């Protein structure tokens, strides 16, 4: 550890352990730290918190969106959309995909508690995601950088999501497996992984865009990197499958409720937590509305500042993905996925406090953060991760009483 490496050059007992065991030990150590943070947050929870003064760890596992997944597991989806007093569609289960909720229910059968099942699914999927991330990055970077990437990933500011009732860890497992399959050109597995990913968390349309960009990249490079006809067929078919899965949930919600706009209206219901009144959707509308809300209503500036900041942010992110040498070493698949997902968020998302959680699919970029071999750098990043993790847990679970503390 003194030289900044978790995997020493000389053979050692640690180095002789299988990679799965080393990643497991590091992941469990990170989970112990997170558990301590959660226990302290439960103790600090007071009357002003949504969890109350007698909060327990089980309450935190079921907090926030976890309760919606629990409702899905227990009651399913409504055939009639609930309405607010103003006659607008209210928050309901259609915003949450079914796979995590029902898998947690299945796992919970021996324990008689959905919260236990959710915890077990989340923590097991988090380990799986950590191991797949290591294996995927190990094909691009050295052992030390790949291992440190997992340390940062498992200790990141939102690492509490690996042990509460959220679908993020399961979705990350499917995502990392899918990206790894694309990198290794094992396209057959994607016919299974795309539906699994699409029915775990929203965002599969970003993967469709990724496949389109990946196909264009392969076509442009076909003279240097052969592009067999069977791979063309796979890439096109998988892209169409991702699009079909992405829109199928909207079709299903419309069919069950009799309202073709049921899913979109449900998603927009959450917008009213920030901007009251009717909301409309069109691409980029979320960021346009957010510029007026944050820079105007909240911070007292002009929305023009927000628009300029947004343009500069997009240009900066594009420059990082295109030119930053550490990012480039991760391979074109990670870079194209990151660009596709950021474009997806830009088109459909209303930026608010959940933006940190929605950035988790960019976790393969931890590989670029881990590449500098300086012990001071890596230790500093780890400390920053843990400080950020406690700050997030404290605000979301110990306090949890303000509009900007929604995870």
What pLDDT, on a 0 to 100 scale, did the predictor assign at position 11? 64
What pLDDT, on a 0 to 100 scale, did the predictor assign at position 2? 44
**Domains of the chain by residue range:** 13-405
206 Cβ contact partners less than 8 Å away, ≥ 6 residues apart: 337, 340, 341, 343, 344, 345, 361
Q: Name the residue with tokens 């079921």.
A: 62
Give the CA angle between residues 22, 105, 68 to the nearest 5°.
100
Tokens of 52: 């109350």
Tokens of 162: 């690996």
Helix (H) / strand (E) containing 144? helix 143-154
What pLDDT, on a 0 to 100 scale, did the predictor assign at position 293? 81
Question: In angstroms, how far is CA 296 from the centroid of its own chain?
Answer: 29
* DSSP states of 245-275: HHHHHHHHHHHHHS-TTHHHHHHHHHHTTTS
User: What string of pLDDT tens digits covers the 407 residues of the chain?
Assistant: 444 555 555 568 888 899 999 999 999 999 999 999 999 999 999 988 999 998 999 999 999 999 999 999 999 999 999 999 888 999 999 999 999 999 999 999 999 999 999 999 999 999 999 999 999 999 999 999 999 999 999 999 999 999 999 999 999 999 999 999 999 999 999 999 999 999 999 999 999 999 999 999 999 999 999 999 999 999 999 999 999 999 999 999 999 999 999 999 999 998 887 777 777 788 888 888 888 787 877 777 887 888 888 889 889 999 999 999 999 999 999 999 999 999 999 999 988 889 999 999 999 999 999 999 999 999 999 999 999 999 999 999 999 887 778 89
70 neighbors 118 (Cβ within 8 angstroms): yes
Say how many C-beta atoms besides its own lie within 10 A of residue 12's C-beta. 10
Write the CA distances from 380 to 141, 168, 370, integer angstroms: 20, 26, 11
Residue 89 φ then ψ, to 5°: -60, 130
What pLDDT, on a 0 to 100 scale, did the predictor assign at position 111? 96
What pLDDT, on a 0 to 100 scale, did the predictor assign at position 162? 98
Q: Taking the chain, what is the end-to-end CA distance rounded to the nearest angstrom?
A: 34
What pLDDT, on a 0 to 100 scale, did the predictor assign at position 290? 83
């Amino acid at each position: 550890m003194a030289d900044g490496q978790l995997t020493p050059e000389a053979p050692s007992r640690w180095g002789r352990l299988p990679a799965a065991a080393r990643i497991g030990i590091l992941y469990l150590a990170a989970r112990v730290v997170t558990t301590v943070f959660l226990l302290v947050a439960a103790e600090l929870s007071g009357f002003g918190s949504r969890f109350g003064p007698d909060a327990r760890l089980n309450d935190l596992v079921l907090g926030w969106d976890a309760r919606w997944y629990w409702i899905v597991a227990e009651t399913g989806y409504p055939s009639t959309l609930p309405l607010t007093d103003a006659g607008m569609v209210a928050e309901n289960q259609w915003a949450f995909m079914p796979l995590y909720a029902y898998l947690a229910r299945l796992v919970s059968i021996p324990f008689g508690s959905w919260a236990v099942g959710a915890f077990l699914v989340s923590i097991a999927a988090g380990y799986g995601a950590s191991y797949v991330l290591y294996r995927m990055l190990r094909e691009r970077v050295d052992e030390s950088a790949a291992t440190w990437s997992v340390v940062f990933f498992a200790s990141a500011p939102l690492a509490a999501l690996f042990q509460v009732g959220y679908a993020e860890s399961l979705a990350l497992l499917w995502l990392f497996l899918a990206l790894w399959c694309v990198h290794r050109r094992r396209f057959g597995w994607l016919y299974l992984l795309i539906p699994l990913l699409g029915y775990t968390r929203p965002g599969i349309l970003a993967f469709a865009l990724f496949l389109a960009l990946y196909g264009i990249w392969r076509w442009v490079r076909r003279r240097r990197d052969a592009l067999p006809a069977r791979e063309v067929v796979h890439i096109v078919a998988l892209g169409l499958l991702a699009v079909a899965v992405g829109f199928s949930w909207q079709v299903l919600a419309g069919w069950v409720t009799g309202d073709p706009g049921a899913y979109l209206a449900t998603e927009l219901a959450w917008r009213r937590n920030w901007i009251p009144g009717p909301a409309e959707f069109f691409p980029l509308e979320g960021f346009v509305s957010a510029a007026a809300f944050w820079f105007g209503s909240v911070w007292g500036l002009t929305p023009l500042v927000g628009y300029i900041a947004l343009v500069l942010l997009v240009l900066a992110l594009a420059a990082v993905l295109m030119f930053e040498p550490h990012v480039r070493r991760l391979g074109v698949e990670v870079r194209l996925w990151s660009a596709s997902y950021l474009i997806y968020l830009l088109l459909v998302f209303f930026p608010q406090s959940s933006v940190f959680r929605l950035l988790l699919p960019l976790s393969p970029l931890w590989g670029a953060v881990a590449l500098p071999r300086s012990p001071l750098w890596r230790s500093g990043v780890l400390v920053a991760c843990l400080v950020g993790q406690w700050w997030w847990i404290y605000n979301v679970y110990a306090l949890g009483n303000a509009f900007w503390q929604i995870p």
